Amino acid sequence: MGIKIDPLKCTACMACELACGYHRDDAFAFLSSCIVPYRAREKKNYFGVILKEEDSLVVARPEGLEINKIGEEQDPEKEADASAKPMLLREACDLCEDMEGGPMCIKFCPVDAISVD
Amino acid sequence: MEYLSSDKVGIIDLATREIQEEDLDEELVKEKIGGAGITQALYNRFEDEDPVVLGAGLLCGTLVPASALGVMTAKSPVTGKMCHVPLTLDAGVELKYSGFDYIVIKGTASEPIYLWIHDGIADVEDAKDLWGKDVWASTDYVRETMGDDLIQVLAIGEAGESGSEIAQVCINYWASADRMGFGNLLGKKKVKLIALRGMGLLEIAEPEEMIDACQALLTEVKSGAFAGKKGIGELATAIGEEDLGDWIAPLVHRHSACFNTPFASNTFVFLDEDPSKVEESAVPEPGFLLTDIYGLLGLKGLGLSAADACGILKACAKSGVDPAAVAELCEKSQKKDPEEIKGSLLDLKGPVESVGQGPFSPWAPQKPLSKEFGLPEDGSEDSTWWMRRQGVAYIFGIHPIFALMSPALSEEKLIELANIGTDLDFAAETLDQVISEITG
């Protein structure tokens, strides 16, 4: 079971990132989130979502899903992590196992772009 | 101020480049709540020094749906009165997490400067290399200099530098809700841009109760009239301009939302790229983000093609001029050639009716966008209702267009959320009083 993202439904509103941050910090914060919309290519309007899992970094690009195994060399041309705290340093998604009602990112996505696979 | 706050106010003296910091007085919050309530109080305190005050709404940057809004408050060169401009996209939330709740920028700099507000630090930087650059180049410059593409930038272009009456403060690369001439004001103060970034953390008084209340509210919001809709075409339909959607459709790439806002009101059009392309474009600047419905409608009214209209909007954002004012002035002078319009952006002048007249920007449609509000269909109560509704949005930090779409974001609900989040005891009477003050 894991988080499934529909990047073409995503509107880059960052609700998932803040919801995940609450799960980590019991406060409103972004820095510890394991799910982050990447929105660094603003002038190109190229955006999607990155998810840190236990052994992989999932990059939900508009054109399709990319799963990068942690520890393997990545294509530098496809860099998508523009966050202040690199994704690999963050805790992996635990599906909000201690939260009633399931993953916070799913609960707070206003456009239902996230689900459990 | 302990909750939903960084507990800090920054006071920047442009003349001396000195920066003072103060705690955010909880008594001030109890009295003025937040957002425009407090930016106005700070404006009044420093009125003799012609301040520009930035602040985020009390609930901005939280899981309250549509909690996107920051506010810029100053004396408008257009109206000669103090007024408020909403800061949308991600500018409001970035300010909220910058380590400052409010920033007072007072006086005038002797040389061009820019402000770098980040992680509880406010820096005044030399902008000699930036002065003369357009908005896009300025945003690129500060992001490249700081090495962070997520910095949010409030920037002026050549229009603001040269004292254009229709100059606008832009957000990153795009048009903003500044229809008050604040671009002109920042130019006079020699402030080229304000860069915002922060990795702050906002404590919540009753975290679990807050999260449950936010989720319940989101569920209610998602069952509203705008569920499943997005984009500037749908927004146009809501204000009775049904044919704009079809006119713009061939250029539409994707829609995006301001922070945590359920309706994606921003639409990206590709002008130099196939709009159906989903992979990253190799073109460095393939298009433009439409953030201003009235600028687009005004140019459509000149009889231009959608591509020509969007090309002009892009030029407006680079020069830092209000696109609705451009459309109005071109209509009045019968200027309809796209290249001629682009070439004259810095020279356009004359009385403009589409600019702000009152305390809030007319960037947000001046009527309810949902029948669910239950207002009379003859529009007889729209004006009074709109003023109060915008006041609520500017105080709590709610997206000012989404506030017109969703009755679920009621005053009672926002007060309840503010009380859960802060452990303060806001009452409806306090909100009435603050709205009365900011609506004049």
CA distance B255 to chain A (A): 6
The encoded tokens of residue B110 equal 């002797």
Contact residues, B window 120-179, toward A, CB-based 8 Å cutoff: 136, 148-150, 172-173
The pairing of beta strand B113-118 with beta strand B191-197: parallel
User: What is the per-residue pLDDT across B26-46, written as a single tens digit (0 to 9) for each?
Assistant: 999 999 999 999 999 999 999
**How far apart (Å, rounded) are the C-alpha atoms in residues B369 and B385?**
12
Q: Is the Cβ pair B221, A26 closer than 8 Å?
A: no
Q: Name the nearest CA neighbour of B68 among B344, B396, B440.
A: B396
pLDDT at B251: 98
Q: Is the Cβ pair B201, A27 closer than 8 Å?
A: yes
Instruction: Provide CB contacts within 8 A for A25, sequence distance 6+.
Output: A31, A32, B201
Contacts of A83 in chain B (CB under 8 A): 150
Check if B283 contacts A (Cβ < 8 Å): yes
Contacts of A9 in chain B (CB under 8 A): none
Q: Which residue type occupies B262?
A: P
ipTM of predicted complex: 0.96
Instruction: Provide CB contacts within 8 A for B305, sequence distance 6+.
Output: none
Q: What is the DSSP letter of B205?
A: S
Strands (E), B201-265: 201-202, 252-256
B36: left (phi over 0), alpha (psi -120 to 50) or beta: alpha
The encoded tokens of residue B318 equal 């680079």
Render each residue's pLDDT in chain B as its tens digit; 440 residues. 999 999 999 999 999 999 999 999 999 999 999 999 999 999 999 999 999 999 999 999 999 999 999 999 999 999 999 999 999 999 999 999 999 999 999 999 999 999 999 999 999 999 999 999 999 999 999 999 999 999 999 999 999 999 999 999 999 999 999 999 999 999 999 999 999 998 899 999 999 999 999 999 999 999 999 989 999 999 999 999 999 999 999 999 999 999 999 999 999 999 999 999 999 999 999 999 999 999 999 999 999 999 999 999 999 999 999 999 999 999 999 999 999 999 999 999 989 988 888 999 999 999 999 999 999 999 999 999 999 999 999 999 999 999 999 999 999 999 999 999 999 999 999 999 999 999 98
Residue given tokens 């294509």 in the structure block: A75
Count CB-CB contacts under 10 A for residue B338. Answer: 18
Check if A22 contacts B (Cβ < 8 Å): yes
What one-character-per-residue DSSP string does B133-184 give?
A: --HHHHHHHHHHHHT-TT-EEEE--HHHHTT-TTB--EETTB--S--S-HHH
Count CB-CB contacts under 10 A for residue B76. Answer: 24
Interhelix angle B323-332/B293-300, rounded to 10 degrees, is 20
**How far apart (Å, rounded) are the C-alpha atoms in residues B76 and B360?**
11
Q: Is the Cβ pair A44, B284 closer than 8 Å?
A: yes
Enter the pTM of the model.
Answer: 0.97
Q: How far is CA A58 from CA A22, A38, A43, B280, in A?
A: 21, 12, 23, 17
**How far apart (Å, rounded) are the C-alpha atoms in residues B438 and B8?**
22
Contact residues, A window 34-93, toward B, CB-based 8 Å cutoff: 39-47, 61-63, 82-85
Check if B214 contacts A (Cβ < 8 Å): yes
Check if A27 contacts B (Cβ < 8 Å): yes
Contacts of B211 in chain A (CB under 8 A): 22, 104
CA trace torsion A76, A81, A84, A87 (10° rounding): -110
HSE, side-chain direction, 13 A CA sphere, residue B302:
30
Cβ-in-10-Å burial (0-12, 13-18, 19+) of B284 comes to: exposed
Contacts of A110 in chain B (CB under 8 A): 65, 218, 221-222, 257, 260-262
Domain range list for chain A: 3-110
Cβ-in-10-Å burial (0-12, 13-18, 19+) of B380 comes to: exposed
CA A42 centroid distance within chain: 18
H helix runs in B290-349, sequence order? 293-300, 306-319, 323-332, 338-343
The encoded tokens of residue B221 equal 């919001």
Q: Is the Cβ pair A28, B61 closer than 8 Å?
A: yes
**How far apart (Å, rounded) are the C-alpha atoms in residues B12 and B124?**
8
CA nearest A17 in B: which residue?
A: B260
* Angle formed at CA A52 by CA A50 and CA A55, multiple of 5 degrees: 135
**How far apart (Å, rounded) are the C-alpha atoms in residues B62 and A28?**
6
Domain range list for chain B: 1-228+352-440, 229-343
Check if B354 contacts A (Cβ < 8 Å): no
Q: Which fold has domain B1-228+352-440?
A: Aldehyde Ferredoxin Oxidoreductase;  A, domain 1 (3.60.9)
| Band of pLDDT at residue A40, cut at 50, 70 and 90 | confident
Check if B202 contacts A (Cβ < 8 Å): yes
Residue given tokens 């682009």 in the structure block: B342
**How far apart (Å, rounded) are the C-alpha atoms in residues B322 and B305?**
20
**How far apart (Å, rounded) are the C-alpha atoms in residues B81 and B324?**
21
